[in-house]
A and B are shown apart, each in its own frame.
Chain A
Amino acid sequence: MTSAFELARGVGGDAVATSIGRARADAHRALLHVDESAKATEARGLLAGVPVVVKDTLCVTGTPTTCASRVLEGWIAPYDAHVVERLRAEGAVIVGKANLDEFAMGSTGETSAFGATTNPLDPSRVPGGSSSGSAAAVAAGIVPLALGSDTGGSVRQPAAFCGLVGLKPTYGRVSRFGLVAYASSLDQVGPIARDVRDCALALSVIAGHDPRDATSVDAPSDDWVAAVSRGVRGLRIGVPRSFLEGAEPDVRATFDDGLRALVDAGATLVDVELPHAKLGVSVYYLVATAEASSNLARFDGVRFGARVSGKDLVETYERTRALFGAEVKRRILLGTYALSAGYYDAYYVRAQMVRTRIREDFARAFERCDVIATPTAPSVAWKLGETPTDPVALWLQDLYTLPASLAGLPALSAPCGLGAHAMPVGFHVTGRAFDEATILAVAGALETGLGGSSSDGPAFAGGSASGSGR
Chain B
Amino acid sequence: MSDFEAVIGLEVHAQLATRTKLFCGCSTAYGAAPNTQVCAVCLGLPGALPVVNARALELAATAGFSLGCDVRPRSVFARKNYFYPDLAKGYQISQLDEPLCLGGRVRYVLDGEERSARLTRIHVEEDAAKNLHLGGRTVVDFNRAGTPLIEIVSEPELRSGAEAEAYLRVLREVLMFVGVNDGNLEEGSFRCDANVSIRPRGSTTLGTRVELKNINSFRFVRLAIESEIRRQEALVLDGGRVTQETRGYDDAKDATFAMRSKEEAHDYRYFPDPDLPPITIAPERLDALRTSRPELAEDVRARWTKELGLTPYDAGVLTAHPELARYVDDAARGLAAKVSLPANVAGKKVANFVMAEVLRDVTTDGLGAGFPISADALVDLLALVEAGTINGKIAKDVLVRMRESGDAAATIVERDGLAQVTDVGALEAAVDAVIAASPNQLAQYRAGKTALVGYFVGQVMKATKGQANPAQVQAILKAKLDD
Interface residues of A (CB under 8 A from B): 58-59, 65, 67, 72, 75, 77-79, 81, 176-181, 183-185, 211-215, 290-291, 293-294, 296-298, 300, 302-304, 313, 317, 336, 339-341, 344, 348
Contacts and interface: CB of A to CB of B under 8 A. Distances in A.
Interface in B184-210: none
Contacts of A183: 274
B258 interface: no
Given A79-B40, A214-B277, A298-B90, A339 B50 contact: no
Nearest to A336: B269
Closest A-B pairs by Cβ, 9 of them? A297-B90, A185-B274, A339-B269, A184-B274, A180-B46, A178-B47, A59-B47, A298-B44, A341-B267
B271 A290 contact: yes
B275 interface: yes
Interface residues of B, number: 28
11 contacts: A59-B47, A77-B47, A78-B40, A214-B275, A291-B274, A297-B90, A300-B85, A302-B140, A303-B45, A304-B46, A341-B269
Nearest to A211: B51
Contacts of A340: 267, 269
Nearest to B269: A339
B55 interface: no
Contacts of A215: 274-277
A180 B47 CA distance: 4
Contacts of B81: 293-294, 297, 339
Nearest to A178: B47
A214 B267 CA distance: 27
B257 interface: no
Nearest to B82: A297
Q: Chain A binding site: helix, strand, loop or mixed by DSSP? A: loop
B454 to A, nearest CB: 73
Interface string B73-90: 000000101010100111
B289 interface: no
B49 interface: yes
A72 B275 CA distance: 22
B91 interface: yes
B89 A302 contact: no
Given A184-B275, A297-B83, A78 B269 contact: no
A339 B50 CA distance: 22
A78 B49 contact: no
Interface of B: 40, 43-52, 79, 81, 83, 85, 88-91, 140, 267, 269-271, 274-277
Contacts of A177: 47-49
Contacts of A313: 85
A298 B48 CA distance: 11
Contacts of A185: 274
A178 B45 CA distance: 9
> Could you say which of B46, B51, B269 has the most chain A C-beta atoms within 10 Å of its C-beta?
B46
Contacts of A339: 81, 269-271
B271 A344 contact: yes
Contacts of B267: 340-341
Contacts of B48: 177
A214 B49 contact: yes
B276 to A, nearest CB: 5
Contacts of B83: 297, 300, 317
Contacts of A296: 90
A72 B46 contact: yes
B88 A303 contact: yes
Contact of A294 (B52, B85, B90): B90
Contacts of B271: 290-291, 294, 339, 344, 348
A213 B85 contact: no
A313 B276 CA distance: 30
B303 to A, nearest CB: 43
A152 B467 CA distance: 88
Contacts of A293: 81, 269
Nearest to B84: A313
A303 B84 CA distance: 12
Contacts of B269: 293-294, 336, 339-341, 344
A349 B337 CA distance: 65
Contacts of B276: 214-215
A232 B179 CA distance: 60
B47 A181 contact: yes
A58 B79 CA distance: 23
B90 A59 contact: no
Nearest to B138: A313
Nearest to B51: A214
B44 A59 contact: no
Given A184-B274, A214-B276, A297-B90, A302 B85 contact: yes
B46 A297 contact: no
A297 B85 contact: no
A80 to B, nearest CB: 10
A75 B44 CA distance: 13
Given A294-B90, A298-B88, A179 B45 contact: no
B129 to A, nearest CB: 10
B89 A298 contact: yes
A350 to B, nearest CB: 13
A89 B159 CA distance: 64
